Amino acid sequence: MYKSILFILVLILSTCSASFKRSIYAGRATWFDTSVGIGACGQQSSNSEHIVALNSAQYHSGSHCYSKIKIHNKKTGATIVARILDECPTCDWGDLDLTPDTFKAIANLDDGIAEIRWYFM
């Protein structure tokens, strides 16, 4: 009896964990100066904060405001966690625009662009 219950429990848990698989997005990261004003989420941020502007296609009228994401540089392997506080209307699907300090954590500012993968946390 105990083995049957344990088997059923393991089966249920393995099914549940498969359904919680997170989506990983691929795109390009660029960087922007936050001194241009208040972000699309309604909050001012600074260049030294780990902040992201999400592309318009995934921004969904602000439904991802204040969400945390983990960003991974495909070339260097560097990663950073940042918060979405703005929208990037010139970015394509999967692309992110980062504050200078966020970009510096994964790439050299002089590069200007980094190939990335990222996901919502």
User: pLDDT tens-digit profile of 66-113?
Assistant: 999 999 999 999 999 999 999 999 999 999 999 999 999 999 999 999
CATH of the domain at 93: 2.40.40.10
In a domain, 47, yes or no: yes
Number of domains in the chain: 1
In a domain, 6, yes or no: no
- Quote the pTM value: 0.81
Q: How far apart are CA 7 and CA 30, in angstroms?
A: 49
In a domain, 115, yes or no: yes
User: Is residue 12 scored above 50 in pLDDT?
Assistant: yes
In a domain, 44, yes or no: yes
Q: Residue 55: which domain range?
A: 23-120
- 30: tokens are 């660029």
Beta carbons of 88 and 95 less than 8 angstroms apart: yes
In a domain, 77, yes or no: yes
Which runs of consecutive H residues, i.e. helices, occur in the chain?
2-19, 56-59, 100-106
pLDDT tens, residue by residue, 48-69: 999 999 999 999 999 999 999 9
In a domain, 2, yes or no: no
Mean pLDDT of 22-47: 94
